[in-house]
Every structure is written in structure tokens, then in C-alpha cells.
Structure 1
């Protein structure tokens, strides 16, 4: 049975990914930062579907947080998959209005942490392992006036996907990415712009925001044998934008 780590796996896109992978028979280790109540509810729901599931609280920008995730996976069996979903931005604002420490934190969460988690994961994986990095459609748009530092970090994660995918292809490990566009999650409200979704939706060629479950379907496909010839690339799931 496949065993997959999902960082940021108890809310939003991460929770949808976890549910979809559980439906495909994956045992799961779900990383989360602080919301223990949500984590317990997600674990209970997934275990009721017949898979093994553990939630691990920790900060993936720290060595201790990364070690806790991998140690939990080691206790469950051989790691076969990683979904690097954890990410954050803290406000919508021009770069000059964004505190320097916030810029540093954004790059650390969205680029440095996924690279280090992937580093630890591929060390443990055998042939057939899959890493999926959740990047962003912002990586090719630049997101001026909103979060150019976040967009730049996600662009770096796209390039990391390409490089690591080529580096480990000879070991039979695939590294791919999914780049969501505008998606209905709590990100918009928590960063201070709850009206962003209806305001931005008309800019999407398909005329609406996406759902977390639509991103989860793309992740599940990339992790499946149906995508066995896909690596070192990013799949854009952004409604045409």
C-alpha cells in the first residue's frame, strides 16, 4: 500500500488531496502547523475510510518539524510519496509595503521548506516514488501589487521541480508539480481580502474559481501509474489563466 506525506494536509487543498489519496488507498502522514482540532477531524474521517493516517504538528521551516514528519512515516512503513502542499502568504500588498521579515518568511515557507522536505523524502524513497510540489499559477503571472515575493518563490519551486526531477529520474523517482490558479480556500480571508475571489473570478477564462477537489484530482493523477511517463514538469490547473 502506498505511504504518502502531505504537508499542510489538514485544511484547504491539502485536506482535499489527503481525502482523494485515501480513496486511492494511500496511507497518510499529514503535516500541520497548529490547528489540532481540524487535524483530529481529518484523521478520524480518513481512518474511517480504511487507511492508516497520522497527523504531525510542526513547522516545516525547521529541522525538527521536517524530522517529525519523516520519523512518523518511517514508523508506518516505506515512504512512496510526498505532496509538498504547505505554503503561505501573509497579505496582499505591493512589495514596498511588505515588511522585509515577511518577505523572508514567505520564501522560507514556499521554497526553502519544500526543497528540504523533498531532500529528506527522496533519500528514503525507492524506485516508483513520487514527489508532487504544489506551486501556483502566480509563478508565471508575477502578481504585481499583490505578492510578487510569493510568486517568485513559487517560480523557484517550479524550477526546483524540473531540476530535482532530472536528478532523480535515474533512480525511478518522479518529481512533478501542480500549479493551482484562483481556488476557493480560506487564504483570501486570512490575508485580509475576503472579497478577492468574486473580484478575480471574471479574469479566469472558465469564469470561476476552482475547488480544492479539482486540484486534488490533478495531484492524484500525477501520483498514479497513469502518469508514469510524467516527470520534471508542472501541470497548470488554473482555469486557463
Structure 2
């Protein structure tokens, strides 16, 4: 939970200034309650989009805080709690967003789950399945449900990771999913390009979000991000512009791309 983090992440609450680049768009952001998802939700709302966020029910406090920032931007937020491991829930997310907003133009497949792994021999099957269902199954379920509702000019954005290109052995299953999302992004971009729907990915480096202290790295958190050329972890607010760009008409000729926001770490 965001409230338990020290220092508190910056989601752009006080710094992001919108310019109407997403005026009238309708967006669904998974994992939109905190971290990168919250930063994207705030930015999208300030750029003129109507925003729905999905999140786990036990993250309601974070979701309501994000909702407050969306409201502050002049829009009524749509809060959609539930577990992305459920195929039906993914279908319902798209249906409720489309029906409430009268359409769906922007789909941000951002939610993810990771845990520190002591080694392949210590990878529990049940937990491995959760990583796969949240990080891979859910994006497929959501895209499959959303594409029939999306018109030319729409955009799908996945959240990959530096882990998809330079994997850590302690995140073997998470890294697998992030590499797979790159292939998913490129394949879907090739399929949907003729329909005028663009598909791209953002690949964050080490970003200070609730996912990090929740991973199980008590010894690593104080030095998190210090191995980047910039020398620090990134803030969620520093990702928002990448998503806004890929969602906007400024990126009208960009599809199948992976945009790194890594503090100088190479893909």
C-alpha cells in the first residue's frame, strides 16, 4: 500500500500539467490504483481522458486516492475492483468501461505481480501460476475483449520491463512474462495495424512503487535503483509522459515499439 512507503512515491500529483492531448478519450488502466498505474491515470485525466482503473479489492484505499485526483481533473472516475486472474473479471472490466463511457479508446495493460525467488527449486507452482495469470493471461483476456470495441485511432499500451531484456535470476518468472509481453505487443501491433489500432510497450527500469517493498527484498530496497547510470530509482511520475505520448496522436506512426524509461540502462 502506498501509505506504508517511505519515502512516498511521486505520481505527478503536484507536477503533471495536462495539455488536452487525450481530450474525449476513454481509458481503462489495470493496476491503476498505485505506482505507475496511478501516475498514468492522473496524467490521462489531466490530458482530458475519462479514466477507469482496475485493482484488487484490498487496494481500495489506494484506488480511492487515485480517484480523488481524477475527480480533481474534472472527470468522474470508474473504479473496478476485482482479481485479474479471473477471465470473467477481465471480460467484465471491458464491458463495464465500454458501457459507462460509451466506448473504449485506450487500454493500458499495466498490472503485474512479482516475488523474490531464492532459486528455481524454490519457485512454488501456485505462485508461478499467479504470476502467469496476472502478467500474461490477463493482458490476453483484456485485449481479446477490448479489440472489438476499439476503432481506428485507438491505442493499446503494455507495461514490459528492463527485466524482459536483462533478467534477474531472483525474478525469473516475472522476467519471463515481461519478455513475453514484448512479443505479444509486436504481434498484436502487426495484426491490428491495418485496423488503425496501435500497440506499443513501455519498458520501465527500477521504479519506486509499492511492488518493490512487496517483492520481499528487505536487504535490497535501500539501494534500489542505485546501479543505473542516473544513480537512483525512477518515480512513477517519470513514466507518465511515455504513456501519454504513445496514447496520443503525436505517436500516430508509432506501433510495435518498446519505449525504455530505464535511467540509462540499455535494453
TM-score normalised by structure 1 residue count? 0.95
Correspondence for 1:172: 196
3-state SS of paired residue (1:127): coil
* Residues in 2 aligned to 1:200 and 1:31: alpha-carbon distance in whole angstroms: 27
3-state SS of paired residue (1:147): helix
Q: Deviations over 1:176-206 (max 9, x none)?
A: 0001010111222112214424324231011
Matches within 5 A, 1:68-83: 68-74=92-98, 75-83=100-108
Farther off after superposition, 121-130 or 62-71: 62-71
Shift of the alpha carbon at 1:95?
2.2
Matches within 5 A, 1:126-137: 126-137=151-162
Alignment match of 2:144 (pick from 94, 119, 136): 119
* Residues in 1 aligned to 2:108 and 2:212: alpha-carbon distance in whole angstroms: 22
Shift of the alpha carbon at 1:26?
0.6
Q: Deviations over 1:74-122 (max 9, x none)?
A: 2221110000011111334322222122112111111111121111111
Does residue 182 of structure 2 align to residue 158 of structure 1? yes
* Residues in 2 aligned to 1:203 and 1:95: alpha-carbon distance in whole angstroms: 25
Correspondence for 2:5: none
Correspondence for 1:201: 225
Farther off after superposition, 161-170 or 83-92: 83-92
Correspondence for 1:2: 25
Q: Confirm or deny: 8 A CA contact 1:5 1:82 kept in the other structure.
A: yes
Alignment match of 1:20 (pick from 43, 51, 70): 43
Alignment match of 1:88 (pick from 100, 113, 126): 113
Alignment match of 1:181 (pick from 205, 216, 228): 205
Q: Cα distance 1:16–1:195, how it changes in 2: closer, same or farther (>3 A)? A: farther
Q: Deviations over 1:132-167 (max 9, x none)?
A: 0011110011211x1111101110001000000010
Q: Confirm or deny: 8 A CA contact 1:43 1:55 kept in the other structure.
A: yes
Farther off after superposition, 113-122 or 92-101: 92-101
Q: Confirm or deny: 8 A CA contact 2:165 2:179 kept in the other structure.
A: yes
Q: Confirm or deny: 8 A CA contact 1:4 1:82 kept in the other structure.
A: yes
- Structure 2 portions without partners, runs of 5+: 1-23
3-state SS of paired residue (1:207): coil
Number of residue pairs matched by the alignment: 240
Q: Confirm or deny: 8 A CA contact 1:94 1:147 kept in the other structure.
A: no
Correspondence for 1:221: 245
The CA RMSD measured in Å over matched residues stands at 1.3
Alignment match of 2:63 (pick from 24, 33, 39): 39
- Structure 1 portions without partners, runs of 5+: none
